[in-house]
Structure 1
Amino acid sequence: MSAAAQRPAFPFTALVGQVLLQRALLLAAIDPAIGGVLVSGPRGTAKSTAARALAALLPEGAFVTLPLGASEDKLIGTLDLEAALRESAVRFAPGLLARAHGGVLYVDEVNLLPDALVDVLLDAAASGVNTVERDGVSHTHDARFVLVGTMNPEEGELRPQLLDRFGLMVELGTPHAAAERQRIVKARLSFDADPQAFCAAHAPEQHALAQRIAAARGALGALAWSDAVHERVAQRCIEAAVDGLRADLVMLRAARALAAFEGADAVNPEHVDQVADCVLAHRRRATAEPQRSPSAGEPPPARGEKQAQAMAAPDSDWGELAPEPVAARPVKGVIPLPAKKR
């Protein structure tokens, strides 16, 4: 085995300045049905490091990376149809979803992935199963994993329909405090100098955190949502003007996962408030101001203002512009057509 394969992952408990990301990843690990975590941020903000660190805390420890050029068969697996016809048996070649079962499936630059693959990923992450169908032959297997997708906003955005299907979202930024930057760099240098010794120093914290995750998973079923929790969730979603009810469901699951992680006896509205931001970060919709016609004598809005109004309209297509008025004026020098003879 190569030295790279033997190299341990950076300890999750040693991450510096990533409190929001760590909490979102832990919630998704406790309840994978939340639907995964989308991490948005510039290069060099420890997105992949945090995902690998989370996998090391899970019992299976699987960390599977989906490359951008992967085919659908590589992702979901393939069926041997000839064997099915010849032997009346289904031969299934597992894909990345099967390999990621019980661990973390990591997709770097998910915004550059074909929409069809993103759909498959999100379906499996939310349902916990993967079904492969070919010419009337099908195979279903468990695929419960923590989906972690990352993106750099400078390289494009995900379509709103796909954004909404990610359970949680965390937006990272480059740290500007000198003290925090020094702590991050010192921790990384210490790890690179001697990974085994660095991990050994954090082993007790890692072990305790892994036990907390396992205990929280076991406690999920015993926690229910009161009417007060439902009311708080509904209020937060209404205030954010979200579309549909997926945000309500994800927020309830995330609040329950947080309560289980903290060892609480019940889910309360405070748990909702703590997870609301990462649930609504990619779903919050700015409410458009009501349109009004210009008063008599008031100049019409400028072109830039019209573009902003058109893009803010809730039912408009992206990039759609309002029609521009064209003033009619006579054209000089036009030769009239001769009258037709009767």
Structure 2
Amino acid sequence: MEDKTEQAVYEALPALLLPWYAENARDLPWRHSREPYRVWVSEIMLQQTRVEAVIGYYNRFMAAFPTIYALAEAEESRVLKLWEGLGYYSRARNLQKTAKQIVDDFDGVFPDTAEALEKLPGIGAYTAGAIASICFECPSAAVDGNVLRIMARITADDSPIDLPATKRKIGAALEKVYPKGRCGAFTQALMELGACVCTPKSPGCTACPVQTLCAAHRENAVQSFPVKLPKAKKRVEERTVFLLRCGGETAICRREETGLLAGLWQFPNCAGALTVEEAVRWAEEHGVQPVGLFRSVHRTHIFTHIRWEMIGYLLDCAAKSADFVWAGREALTEAYALPTAFRMFLEDI
């Protein structure tokens, strides 16, 4: 195909993508409805999370909170428990905060423009664009990593996709070509292309519906795009986790209300990698009367900017200190929301 101007490339996208999407769209539970509540929940869950992992969470969440009113009225602890394992728990808190605001300020009806949606807690430009286009047929682009990668490759654009200016540029160009009455399908077609065909490491160029438009494919340079700024090295933190058992129950406590994993339940822990003797002394100082080390384990958990290297000490104790809440196995798995960094120790208890 002969070279086209960048704008002409954008203009050609809908005619190629929409028929392909109609034939190849995955059957995902949140695509069964264009009801804003369901689309919104799915989009928040899908942030930083694989589709395959989200499906089960989404179905359980919808069964527990079938309406925005149900979510607004729910106990936060139940919301967090159903979110357990998805990570980025501020997403769950913001979901409920937004649900309450929509119920209180808008009588349970979602705003119908991206601009208004973006003013709600936890809804950024991408999520606002997705809801506005899918639910209300607004020509509002939803530009995430998938879309940035697709457009960088198609246009051989070497602008770093980490830069807000790059995202704004691509979003503005897309919004000019959104097809009237097919805005939601176009947004989802772009998402689908990035998730299933134009993938980061092994793009399926031979099956790509827009291959004829793609400058990177023409130049045999698909793996050269998108361009990203150099990543900052993750900070490594050592932590000691105390798995304190007494009378068939295990000690847990809440994290502080600010900072990493704010307000969530955890096993008691402290900074640094303590020796066995230091760990026993720590437990004694917290009033649990340790009587023996059951075992020690090592676990690693990676956050966005930090890697925790954790040594866990399983200590049998003779006293239940009031410093902690003591919970049995059933309560730990069903009542308390433990983030993955600590939930990975459950199998060791």
Range into which the TM-score falls when normalised by the shorter chain: under 0.3
TM-score, normalization: structure 1? 0.23
TM-score, normalization: structure 2? 0.22
Higher RCO structure, 1 or 2 (CA under 8 Å, sep 6+): 1
